Each structure stands twice: as structure tokens, then as C-alpha cells.
Amino acid sequence: MKKLVGLSLGSYLLLCSLAAASAQQNPEQRKPPKVLVVMREFVKPGKSGSLHEKSESAFVQAMTAVKWPTHYFAADSLSGQSRSLFFVGYDSLEAWEKDNLATQANSTLASALDNAAIADGDLLTEYDTNVAVYRDDLSFGAAVNIAQMRYFEISRFVVRPGHEKEWEALVKEYISGYSKAVPDAHWAIFESVYGQDNGGVFLLFNPMKSLAEADRSFADSKKFATAMGESEMKKVADMSASCIESTQTNLFIFNPKMSYPDDAWVKSDPAFWAPK
């Protein structure tokens, strides 16, 4: 898991409800982290599943051995290219820096991570890293109990240059509509600031307990459209066409065997977060 860094994602805010999470929050509901660092690993054909889980367990064992205070969790793709994402949240970029420096200064941990990376690298075609910052002003009901979730629907929006304000206004139209039609909807938006995936890129996460929630999202979309009315929906469609360059959405399933969760997460659901 290469020292906790990276990100890929897919999109589709239109007629969907979305949400995001922190890798370091307690089981009770909390807002997402201010800074989200994610690593994206693309796995070779035939090298995913138990082979990748075994390789990633070396990272988990290394951090467990030194009782490292920074935690993370993993999710595997169910759509798109075969890949795994590793999420870690921080209060600031400075906190991320301090964690990196502390890791480098701990010779035992650094050596163990380097050795694990060599074995893990043989299973991958590539990997990359992105850093994104939480946009509270564009999020809705984002305080979610991630420890109880099992899937992420992750969306990626590329906004046309110079259309950022229009994009923000579009999202706020959704916030207004969903607050009336589907008040229990939730989404959190992150703006990518570092890595391959930045420059007008906004990332949205929808954590789900089961895929039944994805089924219900279609009904929620209809409720939203009804609440907005025909004229407002035309306005939303026009704004979308004007400010969004591209969108993509993908589905990921949490993988506890490749995660290093907080003790509170494990205590909240040991059968899932501490599999035998």
C-alpha cells in the first residue's frame, strides 16, 4: 500500500445522491476529513483477490507491529479497471507532512514498508497518488458512519475551465432540491489539488451499506425531479451541459483484509473489520 497515498474516481451527480468519508474517524457519525489522500493500485490480470490481499497484509502487519496511529482502509473496484484504492484522512496538509516524516524517521516501519512494497509491486501494472480537500459548502448530510458501510459509489467530475462558479451553483441547486425531496440523502465533495487527477476535478463519494441503496437512488432521483419541477430541471440540465466537461461513476467494495482500521471501527463491527 506504498506508504499511504493516491486516487481514481468516477462520476454522475445528476439524479444521484453521494457521500464521502474519513479513514481516521470513529464509528459515530462525523464529517469527512479536511484532506483526503488516496492511493490507486492497478492490479495485473489474475493477480487480484487473495494474491493481492496476501501482499497487502504485509503493510498491515508492519503498521500493527509498531502500533502506528495513522489508519487507513481499502476498497476494490467492482466496475472499470481492476484496481484497489487506499484512503487516509488528515486534518491538514501539515498533518500529512508530519505523518510522512514520522514514518521515514521510524527505521523499523520504513524498512518493513519498503520490503512490502517490493513484493506488492510485482502484482501491479501501475499506481498513483492524489490529494483532495473537502468542500463542506458543496456537501450535504456528509456525516456518515463509515465503519458500518460496505460500498463506495465514487464519482469524478471534470469542470470546464472558467466554469467553477457555475459548477458550484449547480451543486447548490441539488442541495436545495434534495433537502426538500430526499432530506436523508448524503454526499460529500472533494476538490482534487495534487496528483494526476486535479485541475477542475471534483470527487464525490456515496457510501452504502448495501447495493439496495443504489437501487433506491433511482427512485430518489425521480423525487428530486418532481420537487424541482420542469422549469428548474431544464435549468439544471442547461447548467450541467455548460459547466461539466465529463463525468464517470464507479463502484467499489470495502476490503477489510487490506485495511488498517482504527480500533473503534474494529470494536464496532469485529466480524467485518477483523476477519479471521
Would 275 be classed as within a structural domain? no
Averaged pLDDT for residues 179-184: 91
- Residue pLDDT, tens place only, 95-136: 999 999 999 999 999 999 999 999 999 999 999 999 999 999
Phi-psi label, residue 175: left if phi above 0, alpha if psi -120 to 50, beta otherwise:
alpha
Averaged pLDDT for residues 210-235: 92
Is the pTM higher than 0.85? The answer reads yes
Nearest to 190 by CA among 90, 122, 120: 90
| 28: confidence class by pLDDT, cuts 50, 70, 90 | low
**Does 15 have pLDDT greater than 50?**
no
Would 273 be classed as within a structural domain? no
Count of domains for the chain: 1
Would 48 be classed as within a structural domain? yes
Averaged pLDDT for residues 168-186: 93
Give me the CATH number covering residue 210. 3.30.70.100
Averaged pLDDT for residues 159-167: 96
Question: Which range among 25-29, 125-129, 152-156, 214-218 shows the weakest confidence by mean pLDDT?
Answer: 25-29
Domain that holds residue 167: 35-263
Percentage of residues in the chain having pLDDT higher than 90? 79
**Does 165 have pLDDT greater than 90?**
yes
Would 129 be classed as within a structural domain? yes
Burial class (CB in 10 A: 0-12, 13-18, 19+), 202: buried
| Residue 21: predicted pLDDT | 33
**Does 26 have pLDDT greater than 80?**
no
| Residue 112: predicted pLDDT | 96
Nearest to 196 by CA among 125, 104, 127: 127
Pairing of strands 72-77, 83-90: antiparallel
Would 88 be classed as within a structural domain? yes
Would 272 be classed as within a structural domain? no
Around 160, how many Cα atoms within 13 Å sit in the side-chain half-sphere? 9
How far lies 42's CA from each of 46, 86, 122, 267, in Å? 12, 12, 11, 31
- Residue pLDDT, tens place only, 31-75: 899 999 999 999 999 999 999 999 999 999 999 999 999 999 999
Please state the φ and ψ torsions of residue 67, each to the nearest 5 degrees: 55, 50
Would 14 be classed as within a structural domain? no
**Does 211 have pLDDT greater than 60?**
yes
Averaged pLDDT for residues 213-241: 93
| Residue 186: predicted pLDDT | 86
Rounded to whole angstroms, how far apart are CA atoms 174 and 230? Answer: 14
| 193: confidence class by pLDDT, cuts 50, 70, 90 | very high
| 16: confidence class by pLDDT, cuts 50, 70, 90 | very low
| Residue 150: predicted pLDDT | 97
Would 121 be classed as within a structural domain? yes
